[in-house]
Amino acid sequence: MRIILLKENGRAKGRVRAVRLTPWHAAAFAFCTALLLSSASYVTATLFSSGAADEALVAEWQQRIAEQREQIDALQARSEAEAQAVGRQLAAMQARLMRMEALGARVTEVADLEEGEFSFDMPAPVGGPTAARENPLAWTELQSNLAGLSMQLRARESELEVLESLLSDREYHQGTEVAGRPVTWGWMSSDYGKRVDPFSGQMAWHAGVDFAGREGSDVVAVASGVVTFAGKRYGYGEMVEVNHGDGYVTRYGHHESLAVSTGDIVKKGQVIGTMGSSGRSTGPHVHFEVLKNGRHVDPKAYVARR
């Protein structure tokens, strides 16, 4: 093999040299050239593959971060939803507790318990040794406890309502028993039955008893019931009629003024008017009648009751 070399020396023409290579030199030159080219190719491929691997790794981490962010957002949303659910449960339980406190106060009043014997205004006294809990309540355990407590509150509330109803019925039936005087102050001035009529001077039937007293003093219902009449009636003046059930009706006549109206529900001892002298009357008093199944009966037997 011959290699021609040109050397430029600045002149118009350069010098030409020819180098003759033996077969061994030619093989060595070819090997070195091939080695150089393969090395360059390897380095180039390595650089390109390294850059692609880095880009793939970055993309993978970005994907993982995005997935974790989505998981965090989902957990946060779930926590907020569960917190709102617990808040609603607590609000409902608080409303039930307020209802139970009102019912308890009513039951205490109706049952005539001594003041302070059973109070809903103070926390229930509790105590006693207890082992320390190693781990705090788990969220699911807390929710389960809240649900159980809510069911217990609902059951106790129902029991209190039933008890309050029973006690109220007992109080109502006790209150509807006709008993006592229709005045808070005064004396019996005329009896039930035959008497001399103060206007005609002749014997006449008196269907009730009269209680004289100070004008304007209170007139009270002798039993609980419903006002079936409140207004003026001939002979009675301003009158109140109360139906107590079980066939009993009471009438109160000659009021100065009335404190109730037809349809009102009154309780035993409630003021229904003031003593006066309206209608057929000679002075301030209350004409009191008791009717049983539509017939007049002697009020003295009921006045004597307590």
Residue 218 domain-assigned (yes or no): yes
Residue 139 domain-assigned (yes or no): no
CA distance 180 to 250: 12
Q: Which amino acid is at 144?
A: S
Q: What range defines the domain where residue 54 resides?
A: 2-72
Q: Which has the minimum average pLDDT: 15-19, 39-43, 99-103, 156-160?
A: 15-19
Question: CB neighbours (10 Å) of residue 113?
Answer: 12
pLDDT score of 302: 94
pLDDT score of 35: 66
What's the rounded mean pLDDT across residues 31-56?
64
pLDDT above 80 (res 158) = no
Structure tokens at 177: 């028993």
pLDDT score of 230: 96
Contact partners, residue 264, CB within 8 Å, separation at least 6: 226, 227, 230
What's the rounded mean pLDDT across residues 232-244?
94
Between 149 and 290, the more confident residue is 290
Residue 14 domain-assigned (yes or no): yes
DSSP per-residue letters across 264-306: -EE-TT-EEEEEB--SS-SSSEEEEEEEETTEEE-THHHHT--
CA distance 189 to 179: 19
Residue 31 domain-assigned (yes or no): yes
Per-range mean pLDDT, top range of 75-84, 105-114, 125-134, 293-302 = 293-302
**pTM (2 decimals)?**
0.49
Domain endpoint, select from 26, 43, 72: 72
Task: Give, for 190, the enclosing helix (H) or strand (E).
Answer: strand 187-190
Check which CATH number belongs to the domain holding 290 and give it: 2.70.70.10
pLDDT score of 131: 55
pLDDT score of 229: 95
What's the rounded mean pLDDT across residues 53-61?
70
Give the residue from 271, 272, 232 showing the smallest Cα distance to 254: 232
Between 223 and 102, the more confident residue is 223
Phi then psi for 230, rounded to 5 degrees? Answer: -150, 110
Q: Which amino acid is at 160?
A: L
Residue found by looking up tokens 């009717």 in the block? 291
Between 297 and 134, the more confident residue is 297
pLDDT above 60 (res 19) = no
Mean pLDDT of the chain: 77
Residue 132 domain-assigned (yes or no): no
pLDDT above 60 (res 126) = no
Contact partners, residue 155, CB within 8 Å, separation at least 6: none
Residue 111 domain-assigned (yes or no): no
pLDDT per residue as tens digits for the range 204-221: 889 999 999 999 999 999
Domain endpoint, select from 25, 43, 72: 72
Bridging pattern class, strands 218-220 and 271-275: antiparallel
Question: CB neighbours (10 Å) of residue 148?
Answer: 10
pLDDT score of 12: 45
Domain endpoint, select from 72, 87, 117: 72
pLDDT per residue as tens digits for the range 112-125: 655 555 555 555 55
R_g of the chain, CA atoms, integer Å? 54
Q: Is 195:204 a contact under the CB 8 Å cutoff?
A: yes
Residue 217 domain-assigned (yes or no): yes
Question: CB neighbours (10 Å) of residue 284?
Answer: 20
The residues with which 248 forms a beta bridge, in sequence order, are 245, 292
Q: Is 179:306 a contact under the CB 8 Å cutoff?
A: yes
Give the residue from 234, 229, 218 showing the smallest Cα distance to 273: 218
pLDDT band at 198 (very low <50, low <70, confident <90, very high): confident
Provide the residue count of the chain. Answer: 306
Residue 41 domain-assigned (yes or no): yes
pLDDT per residue as tens digits for the range 23-43: 666 666 666 776 666 666 666
Bridging pattern class, strands 209-212 and 285-292: antiparallel
pLDDT score of 246: 85
Please count the structural domains in the chain.
2
pLDDT above 90 (res 274) = yes
